[in-house]
Structure 1
Amino acid sequence: MTATDQLTGGWAPDERGLEDANLTRFLAWLAETGRGDFADYHALWSASVDDLGWFWDAVWTFFDIEAATPPTAVLGSTDMPGAQWFPGATLNYVTQAFRHATDDRPAMVVAGEDGSSEWSWHRLRAETAAFGAYLRGLGVVPGDRVVGYLPNVGEAVVAFLGAASVGATWAVCNQDLAVGGVVARLGQLEPKVLVASDGSVYGGKQRDRHAELAEIRSKMPSLVDTVLVPRLGLPVDGTTPWAEMLERGAGAELDVAPVPFDHPLWVLFSSGTTGTPKGIVHGHGGVLLEHVKYLDLQLDLKPEDRFLWQSSTSWMMWNLLVSGLLVGSTIVLYDGSPTYGRTDYLWQVVAEQEVTVVGAGAGYWLACAKEELRPGRDHDLGALRAVGSTGSPLPASGFRWVQEGVGRPIPVVSMSGGTDVVTAFIGGTPLVPIRAGELNAICLGVAAQAWGDGGRPVVGSAGELVVTKPMPSMPVYFWNDPDGEKYRSAYFDKYPGVWCHGDWITVTDRDSIVVHGRSDATLNRGGVRMGSAEIYNAVEGLAEIQDCLVVGVELDDGGYWMPLFVACAHGVEFDDDLRSRIVDAVRSGASPRHVPDDVIAVPGIPRTMTGKRLEIPIKRILLGAKASDVLTPSAVDRPELLAEFEDHART
């Protein structure tokens, strides 16, 4: 593939890239140790899912995972749910996090709208040790919960690592979540310690969270202490200042407690749009193995990299970002708006911090594309070597814009996974070419397939994303789900014993993957199904459209109504001409069969707090349900917009 071809959005590794890839080193090691010779990535992937025990033992050995007691096996049981990984092993995520500590480069860079600072490995270790010692002084023991109400600051990483070092379980909410949403998530864990900041700086404004913090504390009677991070420098009565905590733990050695492989590391939460958010519990060992595999072998992250993924602390991508420490990379935390003052502000941060691998939600890259920004012209992006995308499918036009915007061929690594496994099922590999609009590989050790209506694998046509064999980072259990019923119904109801993720994908004959969107939001017009992502890709290419949402509604008379709701860009008036151009865009860019029945202008499109469209809840509202019955307002970024859809349901 030539450079000209690559600038159409695709990419192929050159000879040097192949030689330098972490995965090439892994393949050589497999051959040298007699574990197998593999001609290419696809041969290795086949072996990795054919024999899970062989593959994950290789990962354990290659990364020299340090265990206080060794495992008695790789897999004690392959049942789903209920697989038993590395029985008998005791270890701790935190041990691996500090194995690459060095004076040659910082552990973290913490950047914000009001400045940036570097954290040395020495500082990170000292503060982690101090916080761990402080927790032990409060009587925190393995299994207790330590939680955060924090923006994306360095102290959030310290609090997580300190809690994990003790064997306590961590959970965190970003401060853009309403109090009810925070309590619904963190309160169910009955935490012993809360780490919170007095506020945050976002969009050029100081956002004081004193009142919210007081209410949160009042609704968590299990708390024995609150440690205050002074983001705004404002005191809060009844809390322990971060500086005082550090002083009490000054000089403490990092004391890391060995815990069983599946001991709870953290609890992540479902969106909570239809009830109390489900607490998804992940174990130390599963996260550790999956993250070193994904970051090192799939994303090709190296110790000399500076790794930034634009994320709030509430999104699973924050957890994956922090795990950059596991492979020795410098992680770059950005605390602020990616569009502060202008849309390309995040690119300024990338340039200033000499970021080498940057990621964000697909929506951000598309916003840049819509404005035809050229960050490679306006900023020094000489250090940048890869761009990641997730959150929703990135269309081919998004791949093309990244390369045009950066100004040179660069891999666009799109990934698809979820909070459920806190990693990707489908991601990237530095050994396989990338085609614009496609994910270039199923990840190693992930037995993912597309299943058609008959529950059988299909290639070249769309099907349900399923995983037929266990992964180490599948949830250990759901919180407050003693009989496992919620867990089983979430993933295994449709195909017993097989994980059904709820995404609709196509596996191509080249073994690449196209993600079409959520399978429960598939548009079925006259028996022909199409993913909503295809509609969004077509419509959002229009500069006048800021956001949109499409649903297919089955009517009582047997009919099918497919409205498209659009939010116009600032200053744009919705008129018949724009309506016609939207229809033409769908007809030519997606499917003539799936032209919407109505195009309806709305003030905005509500989303979950992690940016996902509310397709199914909106569909239920249009069928007559009250918004309050199908949605938890605290899980929605702009709940006031829901009234608009209730009005359309009535009319």
Structure 2
Amino acid sequence: MTLADELTGSWTPDEDTIARANLTRFMAWLGETGRGEFTDYQDLWAASVRDVAWFWEAVWHFYDVRSAQRPESVLVDSDMPGAQWFPGVTMNYATEVFRHETADRPAMVVAGEDGSTEWSWDRLRSETASFANYLRRVGVVPGDRVVGYLPNVGEAVVAFLGAAAVGATWAVCNQDVSPAGVVARLAQLEPTVLVASDGSVYNGKHVDRSAELATIRSQLPTLRATVVVPRLGTTPPQDAVPWSAVLEADAPLEITAVPFGHPLWVLFSSGTTGTPKGIVHGHGGVVLEHLKYLGLHLDMTPEDRFFWQSSTSWMMWNLLVGGLLVGSTIVLYDGSPTFQRTDYLWHVAAESGTTVLGAGAGYWLACAKEDLRPGQAYDLAALRAVGSTGSPLPASGYRWIQEGIGRPVPVVSASGGTDVVTAFIGGSPLVPIRAGELNVLCLGAAIEAWGDGGKSVTEEAGELVVTAPMPSMPVFFWNDDDGEKYRKAYFDKYPGTWCHGDWITITDRKSVVVHGRSDATLNRMGVRMGSAEIYNAVEGLAQVRDCLVVGCELDDGGYWMPLFVALADGVEFDDELRAHIVTAIKTGASPRHVPDEVIVVPGIPRTMTGKRLEIPIKRILQGAKPSDVLTPSAVDRPDLLDVFADHARA
């Protein structure tokens, strides 16, 4: 068998991988401490969801989470929403980060299009201590909000950790979010301190954000102070505090212990259909969940260098920072992943010595379309795993990643969300991976697929539901005093059971295929199919840059299913290309789900985190005004919405 024959996208762990895995050590520890005997991942998963309190107590002690009190109980009330975890315990996220401080390896590699810098643990602690001390000097107390308007730079991590150390609540927007979008998110928190960069470097351009910063500040009346990070070196506003002035006051790092569920950060929903919802997560839930996912599922250790391409507005940035919780070196990148060339992200990974590399599925597919070979262009010897999320990755994407690297590394696709700031479904170093499938349900995540009548199904598609609480579920939604927004978001369809809105199939092997959003499934002649199957078939064509499919119920009882395609540069649409697209869908997805029309558009609008706007576009095509179904500041290219409105009128 040749190497090319082995590069199928699938992967099977060898004996050495299994023996060295953190999960193997965790299962041995469970036996040694009398918590149960396990040698099989699926047996462990079943136990972890049968008794979630048992499982999360074990994670707490296995990772020796620090608290002022020994936990007397784990889960007081398991009802959802409102489950109460680790009552009476006080702790702090920052404590769990800095317990890993060492001189043996850097805490961060901070990279950009203009070079990279290694940050020692000493520097990270020193700057965090200075910023926390500054916050206390200006009167910030536990529960106050500290917010950022920042690209993915080292100071963003410092500002977050400093706020956490004080017990303040953190929120951040990347600088590609419009001022209106930033204000829509951050103003509702009534923040006391804003940390902002004067700009960013993207695709070779120095992007000055001074005017945008002025607009944002003018609409945040509760601010006591603004601190400016000199990314471009411009002169900060006269009444702002330069970052250098914050660092002048040397101080020891003081960390305030807070209750387990004390708000750590606020993440935001996409805000495509109104004011973005503020999703609040607590210190303890995030610590436990990220220790579990990064340590046990991604198998990360202090020897790893963890790089996930993300903006500060995406929950993957929060997970990336979580690499510090297991002592790993995290790699930040402020810039375009395709700077100068499509495979520039691979260059950053090689230069930083990345061992675990992640990105959105769209990036891997863009590389695959060009049939790139980064393993030949760069030294990727350190790379041991590749992660993918954001949208389903087809089997062809798994295969290309291995072919691109030139060896059979595990491709770990994950599915979760901002809602829980983690994955429900991901990877395990003990379980084989089949290309096109997510190989395991995550530990402590009681995931089922529910079909008609709310019954659990396997080997057929159903709603992704969570039947037991997870500690990283939201503590609450911001400005949702009676909890109605929270209940409506997840518990309307099945009271007491979390309904996530994804359409999945759980196989007999407990692997998972994600079909896309359940509210965007395509129903032709009574047969439902996830939109992801259509995308997987069409995106394999080099002529198609992007696409979007929707199924529209019509007033006369009919059903119209158009496919919108954005073509690659220089490609002309003709009958031959239309036939190629139709054939790809017939053979790669379903003959029943061939679109009624293939319509060329200049681009496909997405949310700021790259998700397709299937439901809003469907509503526009059914006659709704774009302004009634979408908030322009939540869309990467709002100008494209008029294109779909024109098709609706036609």
TM-score, length of structure 1 as denominator length: 0.99
Q: CA deviation at 1:305?
A: 0.4
In structure 2, what is the equivalent of residue 117 of structure 1?
117
Q: CA deviation at 1:3?
A: 6.5
Please tell me whether the aligned partners of residues 28 and 38 of structure 2 are also in contact (alpha carbons under 8 angstroms).
no
- Structure 2 distance, partners of 1:584, 1:640, is 31
3-state DSSP of counterpart to 2:182: helix
In structure 2, what is the equivalent of residue 239 of structure 1?
240
- Structure 2 distance, partners of 1:4, 1:213, is 52
In structure 1, what is the equivalent of residue 222 of structure 2?
222
- Structure 2 distance, partners of 1:5, 1:260, is 54
Map 1:174-213 onto structure 2 (within 5 A).
Answer: 174-213=174-213
In structure 1, what is the equivalent of residue 362 of structure 2?
363
Q: 1:156 and 2:142 equivalent?
A: no
3-state DSSP of counterpart to 1:446: coil
- Structure 2 distance, partners of 1:381, 1:38, is 35
Q: Deviations over 1:402-433 (max 9, x none)?
A: 00000001000000000000000001100000
- Structure 2 distance, partners of 1:442, 1:3, is 30
Please tell me whether the aligned partners of residues 344 and 368 of structure 1 are also in contact (alpha carbons under 8 angstroms).
yes
- Structure 1 distance, partners of 2:12, 2:184, is 46
- Structure 2 distance, partners of 1:22, 1:156, is 30
Please tell me whether the aligned partners of residues 280 and 477 of structure 1 are also in contact (alpha carbons under 8 angstroms).
yes
In structure 2, what is the equivalent of residue 329 of structure 1?
328
3-state DSSP of counterpart to 2:215: helix
- Structure 2 distance, partners of 1:547, 1:491, is 30
3-state DSSP of counterpart to 1:644: helix
Q: CA deviation at 1:87?
A: 0.4
- Structure 2 distance, partners of 1:491, 1:2, is 49
Residue type of the alignment partner of 1:246? L
Q: 1:91 and 2:95 equivalent?
A: no
In structure 2, what is the equivalent of residue 315 of structure 1?
314
Q: CA deviation at 1:39?
A: 2.7
In structure 2, what is the equivalent of residue 11 of structure 1?
11
3-state DSSP of counterpart to 1:465: strand
Residue type of the alignment partner of 1:578? L
- Structure 1 distance, partners of 2:525, 2:138, is 63
- Structure 2 distance, partners of 1:276, 1:113, is 33
Q: 1:505 and 2:504 equivalent?
A: yes
Please tell me whether the aligned partners of residues 4 and 403 of structure 2 are also in contact (alpha carbons under 8 angstroms).
no
3-state DSSP of counterpart to 2:358: strand
In structure 2, what is the equivalent of residue 514 of structure 1?
513
Q: CA deviation at 1:69?
A: 2.3
Residue type of the alignment partner of 1:594? H
Q: Deviations over 1:161-218 (max 9, x none)?
A: 0000000000000000000000000110000000000000000000000000000000
- Structure 2 distance, partners of 1:471, 1:363, is 29
Q: CA deviation at 1:503?
A: 0.2
Please tell me whether the aligned partners of residues 142 and 168 of structure 1 are also in contact (alpha carbons under 8 angstroms).
yes
Q: Deviations over 1:75-111 (max 9, x none)?
A: 0100100000000100000000011111000000000
- Structure 1 distance, partners of 2:56, 2:321, is 22
Q: 1:459 to 1:434 in 2, by over 3 A?
A: same
Residue type of the alignment partner of 1:377? Q
Q: Deviations over 1:469-507 (max 9, x none)?
A: 000000000000000000000000000000000000000
3-state DSSP of counterpart to 2:285: helix
Q: 1:536 and 2:535 equivalent?
A: yes
Q: 1:37 and 2:10 equivalent?
A: no
Residue type of the alignment partner of 1:369? A
- Structure 1 distance, partners of 2:422, 2:487, is 20
- Structure 2 distance, partners of 1:374, 1:445, is 38
Q: CA deviation at 1:591?
A: 0.4
3-state DSSP of counterpart to 2:581: helix
Please tell me whether the aligned partners of residues 394 and 414 of structure 1 are also in contact (alpha carbons under 8 angstroms).
yes
Unaligned runs of 5+ in 2: none
Please tell me whether the aligned partners of residues 300 and 328 of structure 2 are also in contact (alpha carbons under 8 angstroms).
yes
Please tell me whether the aligned partners of residues 68 and 89 of structure 1 are also in contact (alpha carbons under 8 angstroms).
yes
In structure 1, what is the equivalent of residue 454 of structure 2?
455
3-state DSSP of counterpart to 1:266: strand
- Structure 1 distance, partners of 2:126, 2:39, is 45
Q: CA deviation at 1:534?
A: 0.3
In structure 1, what is the equivalent of residue 405 of structure 2?
406
Task: Tell me the C-alpha RMSD between the 2 structures.
Answer: 0.9
Please tell me whether the aligned partners of residues 633 and 639 of structure 1 are also in contact (alpha carbons under 8 angstroms).
yes
Residue type of the alignment partner of 1:598? E
3-state DSSP of counterpart to 2:388: strand
3-state DSSP of counterpart to 2:118: strand
3-state DSSP of counterpart to 1:382: coil
3-state DSSP of counterpart to 1:546: strand
Q: CA deviation at 1:5?
A: 5.9
In structure 1, what is the equivalent of residue 379 of structure 2?
380
Q: 1:131 and 2:142 equivalent?
A: no
Please tell me whether the aligned partners of residues 414 and 425 of structure 2 are also in contact (alpha carbons under 8 angstroms).
yes
- Structure 2 distance, partners of 1:55, 1:342, is 45
- Structure 2 distance, partners of 1:34, 1:490, is 39
In structure 2, what is the equivalent of residue 558 of structure 1?
557
3-state DSSP of counterpart to 1:500: strand
3-state DSSP of counterpart to 1:464: strand
Please tell me whether the aligned partners of residues 6 and 12 of structure 1 are also in contact (alpha carbons under 8 angstroms).
no
In structure 1, what is the equivalent of residue 277 of structure 2?
278
Please tell me whether the aligned partners of residues 359 and 388 of structure 1 are also in contact (alpha carbons under 8 angstroms).
yes
Q: CA deviation at 1:573?
A: 1.2
In structure 2, what is the equivalent of residue 637 of structure 1?
636
- Structure 2 distance, partners of 1:404, 1:115, is 28
Q: 1:25 and 2:21 equivalent?
A: no
Unaligned runs of 5+ in 1: none
Map 1:33-112 onto structure 2 (within 5 A).
Answer: 33-112=33-112
- Structure 1 distance, partners of 2:527, 2:17, is 42
- Structure 2 distance, partners of 1:5, 1:230, is 50
In structure 1, what is the equivalent of residue 471 of structure 2?
472
Please tell me whether the aligned partners of residues 27 and 39 of structure 2 are also in contact (alpha carbons under 8 angstroms).
no
In structure 1, what is the equivalent of residue 252 of structure 2?
253
3-state DSSP of counterpart to 2:279: strand
In structure 2, what is the equivalent of residue 347 of structure 1?
346
3-state DSSP of counterpart to 2:616: helix
Q: Deviations over 1:438-493 (max 9, x none)?
A: 00000000000000011010000000000000000000000000000000000000
Q: Deviations over 1:31-84 (max 9, x none)?
A: 111111113000000000111111111000000000012333100100100000
- Structure 2 distance, partners of 1:294, 1:413, is 12
Q: 1:585 and 2:584 equivalent?
A: yes
Q: 1:295 and 2:325 equivalent?
A: no
TM-score, length of structure 2 as denominator length: 0.99
- Structure 2 distance, partners of 1:170, 1:39, is 40
- Structure 1 distance, partners of 2:328, 2:281, is 23
3-state DSSP of counterpart to 1:19: helix
Q: CA deviation at 1:645?
A: 0.2
- Structure 1 distance, partners of 2:406, 2:622, is 47
Q: Deviations over 1:357-415 (max 9, x none)?
A: 00000000000000000000111100000000000000000000000000001000000
Q: CA deviation at 1:302?
A: 1.1
- Structure 1 distance, partners of 2:452, 2:477, is 29
3-state DSSP of counterpart to 1:535: helix
Q: CA deviation at 1:6?
A: 4.4
Q: 1:6 to 1:58 in 2, by over 3 A?
A: farther
Please tell me whether the aligned partners of residues 387 and 412 of structure 2 are also in contact (alpha carbons under 8 angstroms).
yes
3-state DSSP of counterpart to 1:28: helix
In structure 2, what is the equivalent of residue 427 of structure 1?
426
- Structure 2 distance, partners of 1:473, 1:261, is 11
| Alignment: residue pair count | 649
Please tell me whether the aligned partners of residues 563 and 598 of structure 2 are also in contact (alpha carbons under 8 angstroms).
yes
In structure 2, what is the equivalent of residue 494 of structure 1?
493
